[in-house]
Structures are given as C-alpha cells and as structure tokens.
Amino acid sequence: MKLFKSLLVAPATLGLLAPMAATANEVTISDFTPAEQLAITNSRVDGLEARLNNIEAGSFSETTTASFGLDFYLGSTDDDDSVADDALTFGYSLGIGLNTSFTGEDSLDITLDAGNVSEGVAEFDGNTTGDGLIVDGISYTFPLGDATMIVGDSTDGSALFTTACAYGGPSAMLDDCANVNAGITGGEATIGASYDFGNGFTAATGFQTSSTASGVFTDESADAYAFNAAYTADSYGVSLTYSVVENAGLTNEDTYTAANAYYTPDGSLPSISVGYEIGDLGGAVSSNDEKTSFFVGLSWDEVGPGTAGIALGHSNTMEADEEEYMYEAYYSYDVNDGMTVTPLIFTKENSTSAKDDTTGVMVKTSFSF
C-alpha cells in the first residue's frame, strides 16, 4: 500500500516541480541579462570598436614612406702644412627622408640629418650637424593649375630648378657643376614655382630668406631670389640660372649668372658636362668686383661593374686672384642592391707660394635602406 501511494504521489510531485524549475530558470537568466544590461553592453562594445577604428585611422597613412641613407667616409690628405697631414680620418653622414601625399599629386617632405664629417677631410660631402638628429628641411610641393609650387623651411630656393649637368661626383668640391651661387641654397623660409611647357622646356623661380628674425621677405631681412630656364632633350640639355642675393648689411646686392650644358652620346663614349658662373659683387671695389666659377666633367655609365668620372674646375675665384683648380677622379660600384663603394682621388691647387697643393684620397661607402 505504501509502495502504491508512493507511485501515485511521485508523478504529481514531478508535475508540481516542473513549472517551478522553469520559473526558477527564467528568473535566473532574467536576473543576469535583462534587456537594459544587454543594451549597455552593446553600447560599450560599439564604443570600443570606435576607439580601435580611431587608433587605426591615426596611424601612418598608406601613402607615407621613409627612406634611409648612411655614408661612411675614410680619407687622408697630404699638403705638408697642417698638423693632421697624412692622418687617416673617418666620418659618417646619416639622412632620413619622410614623404607623404594627401591627394596623389602633392608631396610633404621632411628631412632628418646627423653626421660628423666636419671632423674628417674637408672635401667629404656629408652632414656636419653632429651626432644628434636635427630637422634639416621641411617642404610641401603641390600643383597649382599647370604649375608646381613649393613652400618650405630650411629649404633651398632652387629646389625646383633644373641644372643641366650629368656629372655626379662624391666630393664637395665639384658636385655643383659651377652653379655655385646662382642656384640659391640655404634658405630659412622658401617659396618657389616651376612650369613644364611639355616640349623639353621648363622654367622655375625661387625666393628665400636667410633669417626669419627680422620677418619674412621684408626690407630688414636678407633675401635672395633666382630664375631658371632649361631645355632637356634625349641626349643633351642646357640651362641658364640668374640670382640676386642681398648682402647682410642690405646696402647692396650681388648678382650671379650660371650657364650649364651636358651631352650624352650613344655607345661607350662618356657624357660631358660643362658649367660657368660669373658674379657681380655689388659691395666690392671696382678692381675686384667679379667672382667666377668653372667646371668640366666626364662620366662613364659602364666601366666594368661600376661607373666612373673625372672632373676639373675652380670655384668662387675673385677677379684679382689666380684660379686655384681642383681635379678629381672616382670609380663607383655596387656591392649589392643597398651598398655602394666609391674610391676618390683629388688634388687642389694653392696659388700661395708658401703652401703646397693638397692631394687626398677618400673611400665613400653608402648604404640605402
């Protein structure tokens, strides 16, 4: 009898417990995840996604690139006049270039430099800024109609100029192809423009001030402006550059005119580059009011596994002085895609009888990455 009652009571008890269990489950789930809590959670997730998107949007643009260049210089000079005569010297030059574009037609460029080549051979063509990185130049280039404009700080006023020269030596002696002063450089604030006529002819102009302490392009600031015209064909090119440079005292101006040309023949013959610049010094005495520079260089694109060049010229020679010619010869070859070694030998004449001519050797090792 007791067993029979138990069998009857068990289903009833289970029937009563089943709704209670379901109710208990509903209460438990409802307590932990009400609709308002779900809304808050979803809102927080959306906020986190928005923050992640903002972080991604604030990272480097897809159009931003960085380039790095490092040069090591090893060299020695012999002139029998200096304490460091025959001493082997070493220096380095580091450059970092950052570039970005916002429209695909413009270019924002920032250059960071470091280097100690001033402690070595004077003819090293590298940075003398010391071991700390400095901002060497900032410029923004953009189209304006059919012209190209540039504005910048610590940027050359001749940044958009075309100098007709195919020679590119590794030293600081003859790398300007005699366009020493006409192609204005060293500006603190710069604005310039260029125009490509589409048939080989280009024209450009540039304005720069050497110091912004007295304002930009004012009567008190030391300014310079220049004009450049060039024609470039398949195998030759010519250019003419003219500049006006205010002196520090602003009481007079110097004017410079530079003419450059190059010719690159077919075959194994070298390309030839020539340049000549004449300056009229407004503040100089009449017997010594001209300054000239001259250059001629030959370049071979294929000499064994590398390239070679020889050049001669003089720079900033005053009218009453004797020309002090400089000569150099170099050979450059690529060790691999990112490393180039360039040996150089040079001679610098000295018109002063008390001093000997300077001869030197240098090895420049360049890395690009």
Q: Are 54 and 69 contained in the same domain?
A: no
Least confident of 168-172, 259-263, 352-356: 352-356
Structure tokens at 210: 């050497």
Q: Are 171 and 315 contained in the same domain?
A: yes
Number of folded domains that form the chain: 2
pLDDT of residue 84: 56
In a domain, 9, yes or no: no
pLDDT of residue 79: 76
Burial class (CB in 10 A: 0-12, 13-18, 19+), 365: middle
Q: Of 284, 281, 202, give the one whose Cα is nearest residue 246.
A: 281
Q: Which residue has the higher pLDDT, 155 or 50?
A: 155
Strand 326-336 and strand 89-100: the pairing is unpaired
In a domain, 311, yes or no: yes
SS3 18: helix
pLDDT of residue 232: 97
Answer whether residue 5 shows pLDDT above 50: no
Q: Are 231 and 307 contained in the same domain?
A: yes
Q: Are 167 and 295 contained in the same domain?
A: yes
Residue 282 pLDDT level (bands cut at 50, 70, 90):
confident
Percent of the chain topping pLDDT 70: 77
Q: Of 275, 262, 259, give the one whose Cα is nearest residue 235.
A: 262
Q: What is the pTM of this model?
A: 0.78
pLDDT of residue 59: 53
Cα torsion at 123, 127, 128, 134 (round to 10°)? Answer: 170
Residue 82 pLDDT level (bands cut at 50, 70, 90):
low
pLDDT of residue 120: 72
**Residue 69 forms beta bridges with which residues?**
95, 368
Least confident of 148-152, 159-163, 194-198, 352-356: 352-356
pLDDT of residue 305: 92
Query: For residue 164, what are the domain limits?
Result: 64-368
Neighbours of 131 (CB within 10 A): 9
Structure tokens at 223: 């300014």
Residue 28 pLDDT level (bands cut at 50, 70, 90):
very low
Cβ atoms of residues 229 and 202 within 8 Å? yes
Residue 23 pLDDT level (bands cut at 50, 70, 90):
very low
pLDDT tens-digit readout, 176-212: 999 999 999 988 899 999 999 999 999 999 999 987 6
Residue 367 pLDDT level (bands cut at 50, 70, 90):
very high
Percent of the chain topping pLDDT 90: 60
In a domain, 170, yes or no: yes
Residue 351 pLDDT level (bands cut at 50, 70, 90):
confident
Q: Are 187 and 262 contained in the same domain?
A: yes
In a domain, 254, yes or no: yes
Q: Are 270 and 343 contained in the same domain?
A: yes
SS3 201: strand
Last residue of a domain, one of 5, 33, 59: 59
Domain of 323, CATH number, reads: 2.40.160.10
In a domain, 2, yes or no: no
Q: Are 45 and 68 contained in the same domain?
A: no
In a domain, 8, yes or no: no
Cβ atoms of residues 102 and 142 within 8 Å? no
Answer whether residue 248 shows pLDDT above 90: no
Answer whether residue 18 shows pLDDT above 80: no
Q: Are 112 and 46 contained in the same domain?
A: no
Q: Are 361 and 306 contained in the same domain?
A: yes
Q: Are 70 and 29 contained in the same domain?
A: no
Average pLDDT over residues 55-72: 77
Q: Are 164 and 261 contained in the same domain?
A: yes
In a domain, 265, yes or no: yes
pLDDT of residue 158: 97
Neighbours of 335 (CB within 10 A): 13
Average pLDDT over residues 309-330: 94
**Highest mean predicted confidence (pLDDT) among 7-11, 13-17, 268-272:** 268-272
In a domain, 5, yes or no: no
Residue 26 pLDDT level (bands cut at 50, 70, 90):
very low
Cβ atoms of residues 130 and 117 within 8 Å? no
Q: Which residue has the higher pLDDT, 264 or 60?
A: 264
Q: What one-character-per-residue DSSP string does 278-290 give?
A: EEEETTS-GGG-E
Q: Are 97 and 49 contained in the same domain?
A: no
pLDDT of residue 6: 42
